[in-house]
Amino acid sequence: MTDARVKDWRIEQLGDLTGRRYLITGANSGVGFAAAQHLRRANADVLLACRSTTKGEQAIAALRQVPGDGDLHLIELDLASTDSIRRAGDSVHAATDGLDGVVNNAGIMTPPQQQTADGFELQFGTNHLGHFLLNHLVFDLVSARNGRVVPVSSIAHRQSPGINFDDPMFSRNYSASKAYAQSKLANLLYGLELDRRLRAAGSEVSVVCCHPGYTATNLQTTGPTGIMRVVFQVANVLAMRPEQGSLSEVLAVAGDEARPGAYYGPTGFGEIRGPVGECTPTDPARDEAAAARLWALSEELLGITWTVTEPA
């Protein structure tokens, strides 16, 4: 990978990916599906991790109509259930002996106050903890190919002043927008922390973070309720299409130009849209002490220990 700063990355720069294998969460629609299309056209093998097997099978049927020689495989995954995540980890191991990249694409945005199957606030549990556990379970497969882990954040991370460690689930004073912003800040804090740990361990695995700008997807209609749903529906008229919004994910997971530890996305006004290039995380996202604390909290909540060690 090059150290050159990316300023206007285009899909035409993506090379042939024959023999490469990528796992994308939430790949049955929106940005995840569009990223799968781009990778498919480059002849990559794609594993689609989807909550609904019916929608996942429909997505695979649609992808088979896209020119490309790679294999397609469906993984059932509900990021709001650690039992489902563990089963998905087993399924991924059964399907392949290595991954060139994992894209943490799936997410939920500003729903009414709800909990995951394990009692976590739905957005923090799904967007952050679910991907933390999944990445932990399949990390050996990524390591086997010196692949990439791609946490997908959002411009909404800029709205969060930091992780609410006193009440990370917002159980006492729930705000859907604050909880969402926190979950996307957590994605970026975690990604940058994993990158630091990998570098310290001398690992060849890369972490490349990204965000899709403002892209019209089901995210704006399946989570928000009431007036916010109407606002998003109107705003979506001016949003990017998934084919464009997914470019930062494709660059991050498969582009030769991607730099470990970097953060890519649209670079226009407010990072809402525009040419894909390198973006700058907020100060709270670069807080190393908060990142280490979040890592420890994530391990505690999930009942796991994830120690990044030197490669064998």
Active site residues: 180
What are all long-range contacts of 138-142, with beta carbons under 8 Å and residues at least 24 apart? 138/23, 138/89, 138/92, 138/93, 138/99, 138/102, 139/205, 139/306, 141/92, 141/93, 141/96, 141/97, 141/98, 141/99, 142/98, 142/99, 142/100, 142/101, 142/102, 142/205
* Cα dihedral 282, 210, 147, 24 in deg (nearest 10): 130
Give the single-character DSSP code of 99. Answer: -
Give the separation between CA 32 and CA 105, rounded to whole angstroms.
6
User: Starting at the edge strand that comes first in sequence, how are the strands of the sheet with 45-50 ordered?
Assistant: 72-76, 45-50, 21-25, 101-104, 148-151, 206-207
> What phi and psi values does residue 22 have, to the nearest 5 degrees?
-130, 140
CB contact at 8 A, 241 and 215: yes
User: What is the per-residue DSSP string for 281-297?
Assistant: --TGGG-HHHHHHHHHH
Q: What is the Cα–Cα distance from 31 to 36, expressed in whole angstroms?
A: 9
Which residues neighbour 1 within 8 Å (Cβ) at sequence distance 6 or greater?
Answer: 206, 256, 257, 258, 259, 260
